[in-house]
Structure 1
Amino acid sequence: MPYDLGATARLTAECRDPGGILTTAGSATLTVTLPDGTIASPAPVESSAGRYQADFVTTVPGRHVVRWVFTAPAAAHTDSLDVREAAPPGILSLADAKGYLRKSDPEDDDELRTWIESITAGIEGLCGPVVVRTVIERIAVGRAVTIALRDTPVIEVLALEQLLAGGISYAPADLDLDPDTGILRRLDGGLFTGPLKATTRVGRLVVPAAFTAAARIILRHLWQTRQGPQRPSLGTGDFDVNEPVQGFGYAVPNRALQLLEPYRLPPVVG
């Protein structure tokens, strides 16, 4: 499971000889390649014969590559670990998810958090950003009266600037924004000259109840996969699945789709 940013990851590996016997190595080296390309080298400690561990404090979100190298005998082991961003988007809180599934113990917390993040990404793929965050978008435009931002709804435009050397910036106060469509116009009626880079806050300051209700339904549906392989129940019942959703397959029950329908993005044409 992913680690929270700033948490300590305990990394482990075993040194075995060619016959598969656990053996104390002549030397043990551990390197961790961070997502930004920097390399950390935590000091390994032998916890018992042939078993090594090291503690690594996470400082950068993303995928890390973990590499163990042993000598005498020669052995190596490569692994990876993932680190969440500081504030991963989630439509449901962990407490909400546990309450809905009637769980009180913490043993499944990490798995539930992964499901929450996955469900949030799927709902936002259908309906646009829900969790408030700042995004940066590059807009390929020459000269235009209006430009359309990709991620909607838009709460506010923080900055809009040309991507040319010495390019101008457009003050947010001088722009007219349609939050739902993301369409921007200049209040003075002038043209935008690009290419442009827009920094915006997107999402919903008040999350509609339909989103949290749909997320709970999808969570319960997906949680059933822990009980073993199951085929989706196709039909017209509220908790059946009769429509594959792009990017979600058969993971969204009918009732969840019905709740999300008023908020779904129009299909992309072309």
Structure 2
Amino acid sequence: MPFDLGDTVRLAADCKNAGGTLTDATSVALTITLPDGSTASPAVTNPPGQTGKYTLDYTSTQAGRHAVRWVFTGPASAYTDSFDVREASPPAILSLADAKAHLDITTTTEDDELRGWIEAVTHLVEQFTGVCARGTVVEDHSIQPSGVRELALRRTPVLSLTSAVAILTGGTSYTVGDLDVDTRMGIVRLRSGGRMYGPLRITYTAGRAVIPANITAAAKIILQHLWRTQYGASRALAGIGGGDDFNVTEPIAGFGYAIPNRALQLLEPHRLPPGVA
């Protein structure tokens, strides 16, 4: 499960000799490859507090996948692992409290796993409705040499434009105040009615200031549906919902297994028109 940005991640590795016995190494090197490709090589206490069992607490500074490589000498041994760090504000269509209330979960044991499912459900719902959780989007748009009168942003609905900057040296940038945006469709135009020239790098905020109740209700149903996949046939499922459209082994035509019928019906009033993401 991913860590939050800024969390302390406990890294651990065992050093064993050729016979499989835990052994203190003569030397130990730890290399962490960060998401941007840079590396960190923090000093590891040697010998460790317990024979052959090495640990290091690393404070995360970047979001994304981290690769971890331990190399021991005397005896020669190595171990490779990885961990993920969430972005500072991961998209979440539901709060953890709302999700737990819907699933009748009263303990904190499964909080981290549940947060991961909330993020997954958020992306799933946004396939149908457009962006729900507010976030910053940066897009590059190629524009034909003759220019265009309208430019379609890829993520909708749009809350606000931040900038429209020329990518090439000498290109034309545009002041946000000179632009109009159709927030639902994501269409950008010059208020003057003129043509825009590019290529342009456009930064904007997409999402919803208020997420409609039918969307959050659908998200809860999908979450409940997917949460059931953790439970084997021997586990009682009555406490986390039921019904034909919750059968995780029965696909819905055109949608597969992840979207129950009742969730689709709830999302229908806010379904994206064809060709809009």
With normalisation by structure 2, the TM-score equals: 0.89
The corresponding residue for 2:71 is 69
Instruction: Structure 2 unaligned segments of length 5 or more: list them.
Output: 235-242
Counterpart of 1:146, as a letter, is E
Residue identity in the other structure for 2:151:
I
| Aligned-partner Cα distance in 2 for 1:152–1:80 | 34
Task: Confirm whether residue 260 of structure 1 aligns to residue 267 of structure 2.
Answer: yes
1:221 to 215, 219, 225: 225
Matched-pair contact (CA < 8 Å) for 2:172–2:198? no
CA gap of 1:47–1:228, structure 2 versus 1, over 3 A, is farther
CA distance in 2, matches of 1:86, 1:245: 34
Aligned-residue identity in percent: 52
* Contact kept? 2:173, 2:200, Cα under 8 Å: no
In structure 1, the residue matched to 2:180 is 176
The residue that corresponds to 1:140 in the other structure is 142
1:217/1:262 CA distance change after superposition, 3 Å: same
Does residue 206 of structure 2 align to residue 205 of structure 1? no
Alpha-carbon distance, 1:40 to partner: 1.3
Q: Which protein has the bigger strand share?
A: 1
Among 86, 89, 102, the alignment partner of 1:87 is 89
- What secondary structure, in the 3-state scheme, does the structure 1 residue paired with 2:49 have? strand
- Tell me how far apart the structure 1 counterparts of residues 24 and 77 of structure 2 sit (CA, whole Å): 11
Give CA deviations for 1:143-199 in whole Å, capped at 9, x if unaligned. Answer: 111111111111111111222202222111111211111111111111011111111
Report 1:100-139 matches (<5 A).
100-139=102-141
Equivalents in 1 of 2:173, 2:62: separation in Å? 31
TM-score if structure 1 supplies the norm length? 0.92
Name the counterpart of 2:43: 43
Q: Once the 2 structures are TM-superposed, how far is the Cα of residue 117 of structure 1 from its aligned partner?
A: 0.5
Which runs of 5 or more residues in structure 1 are unaligned? 231-235
Match of 1:233 in 2: none
* Structure 1 Cα separation of the partners of residues 79 and 233 of structure 2: 32
Q: Between 156-165 and 74-83, report the one with greater CA deviation.
A: 156-165
| 1:96-155 per-position Cα deviation (integer Å, ceiling 9, x unaligned) | 111111112111011000000000011112221111111111111121111111111111
| Cα separation, 2, equivalents of 1:158 and 1:254 | 38
Contact 1:244–1:250 (CA under 8 A) maintained in structure 2:
no
Aligned residues of 1:15 and 1:70 also touching (Cα < 8 A): yes
Does 1:22 pair with 2:22? yes
- Corresponding residue pairs, total: 262
Mapped to 2, the partners of 1:146 and 1:130 lie a distance apart of 24
Partner of 1:47: helix, strand, or coil? coil
